[in-house]
Amino acid sequence: MKHLLYISILLFSLAASGQRYHRVANGEIVQSGSIPKTFVRATGTVYGYDNLSDSIWYADGWRTEVVPEYNSETQRLGALYYDAANDYVTRSVNDLTTQELAQRKENLLQSLDENFDYAQIKALLRLLSEPLLQSDSITTEELEVLSGIYKQYREGVAYEAGEVFVYDSTLYKVVQPHTSQADWFPNQTPALYTPFTPPGQVAEWVQPTGAQDAYNLGDRVLFNGSTYESLIDANTWSPTVYPAGWQLIE
């Protein structure tokens, strides 16, 4: 009996801050909550009661609440009661009814229906937008809208050929596989990145670095304020370096 009393007091003293307490009298719970600052005994009122020792609280009938183990998927906690055998206050464990299980499942399904995964939505939109990006009729306004569903350019990323990203509010396509670096800016490295340009909009001429980003027959560029059209394939020269490879349009 003394051993059981010692264990109960020890459990009581180890209770964490904010522990819920219950006072038991004649095997019944008569008071619940935190230890009160003022407590009335038969011998009189005790002030500063919450500053007294655990052993005094225990002698006055205060017990900690022990939460029993239970399966939250099929059970729920019930009413409080005093467990005389273990000398603590605990709760009953009740199996969920068929109706409660059905309602819990419905709540879960409704939560899943209402839970939008924006990353997955953007991935789906990117898949659906691929034909539009390849279209000859895409507009500047449509490109601006599409830039909102693609990931931002980052340094130190292993990019694959064909990947699309946003840099400085502009969509770019990866020309060849590589790992991006701090000094390879998409708007300055045509060997690695090509900006999307709507039909009818002519981009500035950029010095090609090889066959992978050379201009081909019919490609148009802006050069020194004028529009030029390439007269040959694999054109890596500017209109001033090789005039025969370009035709002045306007």
In order of their start, the domains of the chain are: 2-99 (no CATH), 118-197 (2.10.10.20), 202-250 (2.10.10.20)
Residue 75 pLDDT greater than 60, yes or no: yes
Dump the DSSP string for 164-177: EEEETTEEEEE-S-
pLDDT at 79 over 60: yes
pLDDT at 114: 84
Q: Phi first, then psi: give them for residue 163, nearest 5 degrees.
A: -65, 150
Tens of pLDDT, residues 175-214:
899 999 999 999 888 889 988 877 667 888 888 878 877 8
Give the C-alpha separation, 233 to 230, whole Å: 8
Does the model's pTM come out above 0.75?
no
* 170-174 β-sheet, strand order: 164-167, 170-174, 193-195
Q: Are 167 and 152 in contact (CB under 8 A)?
A: yes
Assess whether pLDDT exceeds 80 at residue 236.
Answer: yes
What's residue 76's pLDDT? Answer: 92
pLDDT at 2: 43
Average pLDDT over residues 1-7: 44
What pLDDT, on a 0 to 100 scale, did the predictor assign at position 18? Answer: 60
N-to-C CA span, the chain: 105
The rounded percent of the chain whose pLDDT value lies above 70 is 92
Task: Kindly state the percentage of the chain with pLDDT values over 90.
Answer: 56
176 in Cβ contact with 191 (< 8 Å):
yes
User: Which residue in 180, 50, 62 sits closest to 165, CA to CA?
Assistant: 180
Q: What is the pLDDT of residues 118-127, one digit of tens each?
A: 888 888 898 8
- The model's pLDDT over 136-165, given as tens digits with 9 standing for 90+, comes to 778 888 888 888 999 999 999 999 999 999
**How many whole angstroms separate alpha carbon 84 and alpha carbon 69?**
18
What tens digit of pLDDT does each residue of 12-57 get? 444 444 678 999 999 999 999 899 999 999 899 999 999 999 999 9
What pLDDT is recorded for position 198? 74
Write the CB contacts of 197 (distance below 8 Å, at least 6 apart in sequence). 203
> What six digits make up the tokens of 225?
């304020």
